Every structure is written in C-alpha cells, then in structure tokens.
Amino acid sequence: MRPQQQYPRFSTFNGIDHERRWYNPTVMNVLGRITAMPTLPEPIKGLREVAYNFWWSWNPSAQQVFERLDPLLWKRFRGNPVKVLLEVQPERLESLAQDASFRGEVEAVVSAFQKYLSSRPENQHQVAYFSMEYGFHESLSIYSGGLGILAGDHIKSASDLGLSLVGVGIFYHQGYFRQVLTAEGQQTEAYDEYSATELPLVPVHDGEGRPLRVGVEFPGRTVQVTAYKAQVGTVPVYLMSTNIPENSPEDRRITARLYDPGQEARIQQELILGIGGVRVLRALGLAPTVFHMNEGHAAFQGLERIRERIAAGMPFREAFELVAASSLFTTHTPVPAGHDTFPLELIDRYLDGWWSRLSISREQFLALGLEQKEYGPVFSMSHLALATSRAAGGVSKLHGAVSREMFHDIWKGLEVEEVPISHITNGVHTWTFLHPELAELYDRVFPKEWRERPWEASLWKAELLGEAELWRIRNKLRARLVSDVRQRLYETRRRNGEIPARLRATEKVLDPNALTIGFARRFATYKRAVLLFKDPERLLKIMNGPYPLQFVFAGKAHPKDDPGKAFIKELVAKIKELGLEDRMILLENYDMGMARTLVQGVDVWLNTPRRPMEASGTSGMKAALNGALNFSILDGWWAEGFNTRNGWAIGDDRAYASDEAQDIADAQSLYDTLEFEILPLFYARGAEGTPTGWLTMVRESIKSCGPTYSAARMVHEYDLKFYTPLAERARALEANGAQKLKELAAWKSQVERVWGNVRLWVDNPGDTMANGEGMSIKAYLAAEGLPEDTLRVELVVRRGTGELEVVPLRPQGREREALIYSGTYSPTRPGSYVYGVRAVAVHPNQSEIEFVRWAGEVPHPEYAHR
Ligand SMILES: *Cc1c(COP(=O)(O)O)cnc(C)c1O
C-alpha cells in the first residue's frame, strides 16, 4: 500500500525539516501569516476541505491520496496534508488531475467524506469539552501522552456518534518537546516552532469578520487571546493562543509549550484555558448546556460561568448551583503530581478580583479549592473541579474506587463507597489505531454494521477470523515494525555521530519472525520501565533460551522528571551491560505515529505499572485491537479487561508491604509467565506453520477488548450516564423562570444556616448481640427549621471492613421537638458488624448528599441520658 520505505534524505523528526528550520531570512516584526493555498484543479478541488478536517487522520484512503500528491513531502512533514498542499509543485497537481485513477481515488474519498458529514444525527444538547491537550495526529504536537490521546479519541468518537460537542484547548506553537537521546540515553528536550497556518487549523473570526480576540485579566494587564479551529469530523475544536502582536513578548509565550514547568506558567495557561475558553465560546455565540472538564486543568471555566450569571443579576448561590449542575469532571490519575495545586500567594496574585466578581469573600473563594497538605493549605484544581461539578468520574473501575478514597476528605460525612465519584472506563478510537489491512479483514468477516456500531460486542465475530489470513497480516505488521525500527535507529545513530559500522549494524537489529514485545509510554517512575531488569541473570537466561525474543521500548520523560529520565539511562545501560543491543531497542521521540506502528506490529504489549497508579492506560487497548496480546499488571483497564483467555496478568491484585517486595514479586511473575507460557505458546506451530493456540488467544483478545474498550463505547456511556442527565437537570432547574433553582438555592442556604444545630441520638446505643432476631433502633432528630420531607435518617452497617448497607429508618411522628425514626436490622449472615445512625438532608432537586450528621457526633444534653 505504502511505497517501500527508504532512508529519508532529510532529518525528519516530527516532520520538521530541522536542517533548514533555523534559517530565518526576515527581520520584520511579524504581525501575522498569510496562507496561500494553491488553486486546486477542478477534478481534485474537494481535497482542500478534506485536508482541513482531521477526518483524514482516521481514514487511510484519504491519507493515501495526500501521500500520492508527493510521497517525499508527505513523509517529510509527517503526514500533514495542509503542508503537502502548500508545498507540492503546481505541475504535479495538474498532471495528477489528468490521471484517471487518481481522480477516481479523490472522488471516492471526497464522497466518503461528504457522506460522513451529512449522515450524523443531530443531538439536542451541546457539550463543551475542555482539555489541556489533544492528540489528533502526530503532525499536531499538542499532546504529551495518554490524556491528550484520550481527548482526541473522545472528540473523534463524539463526531462518529453524532453528538453535538465542541472542544476547547490550546494551540502550543512550540508544542510538547521533541525528545533527543544521546547514545547513553540522556534525554534532552528540543522545541520546534509550529505555524498554525501550515497545519490543518484555520484562524477564527468574530461576527464582524475580524480575527477573534477575547481578553483575560492578568495581574496589572489584560492578556489577549485568539483561537484557531481544528475541525474533527463534525466537531469543531477551538485552540487558543496568546501569540499575537497585541501581547507583550512574555505574554505571547504563555501558550508556547504544553506543560511548561513552573507553577506560574501553569496557572497562566489554566486561566487561558478555563476563563479564555468560555469567553471564546461566547464570542462565537455558543451556549453549550453541559461543560466537561477533562482533568482539573480546566476548572477555572466554572468561575467564569458563575461570573456570567452574577453579571446577569443572579445571586451567587443560584449561579453556583446552576453551573455545578451542568458540569462534569473526569479525573485521570492517582499520582499526586498529576493534580495541580497552587500556593495561595499565587491565587491571591492571579485571581484577585474574582471574589468580588463572584460577590463572595476571599475565604469563601479559597474554600472552593482548598486542600490541606502536610506543609499547609494549597489551592487544588481537582478540588475546585469537584466543588463546581455535580458529576465526577475516574477512568476505570479500579480508578473510580481509588479516587473515592483519594477525595474522601471532601465528603467527610460519607462512607468511602458513597463519595460521589463514579467511573467510565477509557477507550480508544478504533479507526485511528486499527491497521487498515486488519480493518479490511474484519470487514470481510464481521457483519457489516460493525463499522457503524464498533462498541457492540456481538458484531465482533473474531472467532471466525481465518488462522492463515490473520497470521499472514500479523507477520506483515511485525516485519513493517522491524523495518521502521531499523530506519529510526539509523537516524538517531547518524545524528549522534556514530561510526559507519554502527550505522550499518542497524540493518541487522531485530528479527522479523521473532516474538516481539513492546513497551512504550511516558517514562513516569510508577510505570516501572526497568522492572524487566530486576533479575538480569534470569532475563538473560530467557533471552538466550531456545525461543527468539526481542523488545522495543519508547517513551518520553517529562522535562522536570529527573527520576523518569534516570530510568531511560538505566534502561540503556542495562541493555548494553547484558549485550542485548540488537534485540532490545529503545526508540527516540515516542509519538502517535510511532505508537500506531508499535501497537500494530508487536505480538505482546507489556505494561508494568505500580498498582494502583495506572488510572486506566489505553495503549494496551490499541494493541489488543490489532491482535497483540496484553501482558500486564492487573491495574487500570486490564484489571477489568483480563479474562484469563485474552492475555496474561503479571503478579496478583494484592497489596505489598513495600515497593521493593512488590517489585520482586512482580518481576518473578513476569519471568515465569514469559518463559513458561508466552514463549512456548508463540512457537508451538501447527501443521500449516501457524501458532494455533496463540491465534486462539489473539481472536479472544480482539473480541473481548475491541468493542468494549472502544472510545465509541466510552463516549456513548458518557452521553447516557452524564451528558444527557446533566443537560436535563440543568434545563429543569432553569425552566419556569428558574423556579426549581431558586427553591434549591433557598433550601441550601437554610440548611447551611441551621445544620450546625441539628442533633441526632438513638436509644440504647452500644454493643449488642443479634441472636437470630433483628436489632431495633429508635432515633431522635432535632432539626428545627428544616422541612421534614428533605430529611432522612439511616442506619448504616458495615460487616468487618467489607460491605456497606444503608437501611432507611421510618418516620414515626414527633416527641416534643424531636422527630422520631425507627426500624429493625437483621444481619444477613454471621459475622462482626459495626453500625451507626445518621441524618442526611437531600433536596428533591438534587441527588447528592452534602449534609450529614452522625448520631453521637454532637451530644444532645436532653437526650444524652437515655
Ligand atoms: C496511547 C498513547 C499513550 C498512552 O499510553 P499508556 O500506555 O496508556 O500510558 C501515550 N502516548 C502515545 C503517543 C499514545 O499513542
């Protein structure tokens, strides 16, 4: 399909022509850029619109057409069709326009594109999706890892599903860094300068046709923000930039780099994302019903939306409830460094003015995000996001549970299971990561609706995939990976000035027929990239055993993550030490393009995070989709995806006394499974030379993971579980002159005023034996000034440290000023239980519990004697 790959004539890391990049012939103070697209010959003029819609990034036939325009430019600019159109020779366009077969291809692509756009159903409520990073394609370097790729996949699937979504993010004109590795594995960071005009982005204009500008208040100045639109199928994504002439040189750099180290740079970017993002939407006349914060970076958006309401005359309480009722927060990591916190001094400096804009006090404002650390109070973006949203979730089942524990402090009165954070397990965009040749094979075997509804497990008839055909493609993809690895390695070695013999040696690394294991992801320490080397002797024994085995590694460490960088060096040193340089290859500058080649070409995808730090992980889903088998710690998605027949688990799901003990046990398990299960199974060949047992697992893996871990399933779930209910709730609150909202706000103010005086006590508290019969409970609730129908009294029982039961007690009228509640409880099975009784206040217009009072918490003088 693609022309035979050759060693490139240019240095093409990330598609930038680095050898010419620094030549800047102009001294002018650049005010803007002009994009002069060629006038495309009539028969192929439809390509222009296709180039400006990231739809091409998941449609191989569209990419093929652009590649045919000029294969060298295509390669040099990393598959960026806009750049190809800008650079291609006009004569070449003319001659291709005369070529009937090319015209046919273009026609097919353009009509598929138009069909795609016109066939999306319209959804009633609009969702605004805010994310600090997006991974749409390797040619747009505004992502660092899983979070960004997930955001890109979310947008693409929302388009596929016809959801009305609008994305908000930042265009970083220097992107995320390009990783440069020395021969010793020392990482240095290089930054390229990207021009929006050479990418599939278009500058956004306001209603009067002027370049869009919105202002965001910064200390002593207003920073101007503009935006570019990335069209992704039917979903527009507005990417903001401060790199415009009205801003000072320092302010122009605010949006230069993704995850610029330093807290001040971070708060500046987050102000642009949250406050600027809402203002950009408004400037475009958009009024989404639901706002989704993909990670806490975007939490300032809630402040701006509250401010808007207040400016329109709404009291704070109502504005706050309305904004929270229509907001959703997805948290993405249990790693503390993944949750932004700011010193209060920085908040005072950058958000001074916001408390008066919101008509609250500084203390009330700070309380929205306050988190107590050992070293004192900080302002946490995750806390702010939780405070200002009525729906929140983690990204896998296990991560949901870990997040409930992590944020338990915020809901002090609730048991940990009741913390209102649920989860939707991540998924990947099938069409972005599935190799086209496999997609065609699936087309031939699965019912054809699988393309329309890729989340439906019953359509994935993977058991019917022919063994020979599947194996042929697997071999082909592995061989393609091996050739890609050789070429990339050659480039790196050449750049590092290695001797000719070492350059020639790259042609011999890896074996296209050997079992190939991939490990690629950010080099964050919790991902334990070097776990494989825990017992070097054992590893060497396996590597030098009867079965050929090889590894490909890749990943970036965050520029400030010195331990992560040390892991890269350690990896390189270990490989050298063991003399495995031809069979263990570390690739430089992991990106989406490399990720696709890897997940499509490897046989086994390895993941060794320290449980439970991997919130979900998605690269393993991409691998499974392509017929690679997962070999992973039971963490994140794999803890729920593993079914014993679709891959392997490393270690077990228990906790260890120390990290070291866990590392040793996990490494042991890794070696055993690799040596005694994985290798023999891969090399057990049937009569046709195909590994029958292996392919049975491959088919099971495709079937069990492909549909379930698709972003289509994920976005569908977001719609059902969050978007639609939030939209309905927000609409109900606002209907009839916001009557329900006013009721809710008034009730909440009242509860807040009197809740401190609420008293709850029970008859005969203490230990008791339940000998066959139930235990009776009678509770007294003194809750003056609160409507009875918003109060509940509950018996809460927990068996050991395990299951929780909540038994509502029945109201039995009054005794003097106290409301009486009673009920009985019979343990369902023997064991030791603890119990408590609590009163909660919940308004019918809300679903979550904010007010809790446990019996005995505050002794009541009058009832204490009972
Ligand atoms: C999918 C992907 C990731 C996420 O990998 P995990 O193993 O899930 O952390 C990171 N980077 C790139 C380029 C990816 O394509």
Domain boundaries, the chain: 37-117, 123-182+198-426+718-734, 466-709, 758-863
> 159 CA distance to ligand 1 centroid (A)?
21
- Side-chain half-sphere CA neighbours of 659 within 13 A: 9
Task: Indicate if the pLDDT at residue 476 is higher than 50.
Answer: yes
Q: Which CATH superfamily is domain 758-863 in?
A: Immunoglobulins (2.60.40.10)
- How big is the chain, counted in residues? 866
> Given this structure, which CATH class describes domain 466-709?
alpha beta
Of the pLDDT bands very low, low, confident and very high (cuts 50, 70, 90), residue 586 is very high
Q: In this predicted model, which residue has the larger pLDDT, 394 or 29?
A: 394
Question: Looking at this protein, which amino acid is placed at residue 779?
Answer: A
> 154 CA distance to ligand 1 centroid (A)?
14
Q: Mind listing the pLDDT tens digit for each residue in 253-309?
A: 999 999 988 999 999 999 999 999 999 999 999 999 999 999 999 999 999 999 999
Look up residue 14 and give its two tokens: 């990330």
| Any ligand 1 atom below 6 A from CB of 332 | no
> How many Å apart are CA 78 and CA 589, to the nearest integer?
13
Q: Mind listing the pLDDT tens digit for each residue in 686-731?
A: 988 999 999 999 999 999 999 999 999 999 999 999 999 999 999 9
Q: Atom 3 of ligand 1 has which residue's CA nearest to it?
A: 146
Atom of ligand 1 nearest to the CA of 614: 9
Q: Atom 4 of ligand 1 has which residue's CA nearest to it?
A: 146
Question: Looking at this protein, which amino acid is placed at residue 173?
Answer: H
Could you tell me if 633 and 666 are in contact, meaning their C-beta atoms sit under 8 angstroms apart? Answer: yes
Of the pLDDT bands very low, low, confident and very high (cuts 50, 70, 90), residue 25 is low
- Mean pLDDT of all residues in the chain? 93
> How many Å apart are CA 288 and CA 125, to the nearest integer?
7
Run of H or E residues at 305: helix 300-311
Task: Indicate if the pLDDT at residue 9 is higher than 70.
Answer: no
Task: Indicate if the pLDDT at residue 104 is higher than 70.
Answer: yes
Enter the DSSP assignment of 205. Answer: B
> How many Å apart are CA 62 and CA 57, to the nearest integer?
8
> 648 CA distance to ligand 1 centroid (A)?
20
Strands 759-762 and 775-782: antiparallel
The widest CA-to-CA distance across the chain, in whole angstroms, is 98
| Any ligand 1 atom below 6 A from CB of 592 | yes
> How many Å apart are CA 447 and CA 459, to the nearest integer?
6
| Any ligand 1 atom below 6 A from CB of 618 | yes
Look at residue 860 in the predicted model and tell me its pLDDT.
59
Q: Mind listing the pLDDT tens digit for each residue in 422-475?
A: 999 999 999 999 999 999 999 999 999 999 999 999 999 999 999 999 999 999
Q: Model pTM?
A: 0.95
> How many Å apart are CA 146 and CA 133, to the nearest integer?
10
Look at residue 684 in the predicted model and tell me its pLDDT.
98
Look at residue 2 in the predicted model and tell me its pLDDT.
42
Task: Indicate if the pLDDT at residue 101 is higher than 90.
Answer: yes
CA gyration radius, the chain:
29
Look up residue 211 and give its two tokens: 């370049």
Check for a shared fold between 123-182+198-426+718-734 and 466-709.
yes
Q: In this predicted model, which residue has the larger pLDDT, 612 or 6?
A: 612
> How many Å apart are CA 74 and CA 67, to the nearest integer?
5
Look at residue 18 in the predicted model and tell me its pLDDT.
44
Q: In this predicted model, which residue has the larger pLDDT, 196 or 772?
A: 196
Nearest to 707 by CA among 400, 428, 470: 428
> 290 CA distance to ligand 1 centroid (A)?
28
User: Other C-beta atoms within 10 Å of 428: how many?
Assistant: 31
Task: Indicate if the pLDDT at residue 39 is higher than 70.
Answer: yes
Q: Atom 10 of ligand 1 has which residue's CA nearest to it?
A: 145
* C-alpha angle 724-728-732 in degrees, rounded to nearest 5: 175
CATH topology of domain 123-182+198-426+718-734: Rossmann fold (3.40.50)
Q: Mind listing the pLDDT tens digit for each residue in 753-790?
A: 999 999 999 998 888 887 777 889 999 999 999 999 99
Nearest to 6 by CA among 63, 87, 75: 75
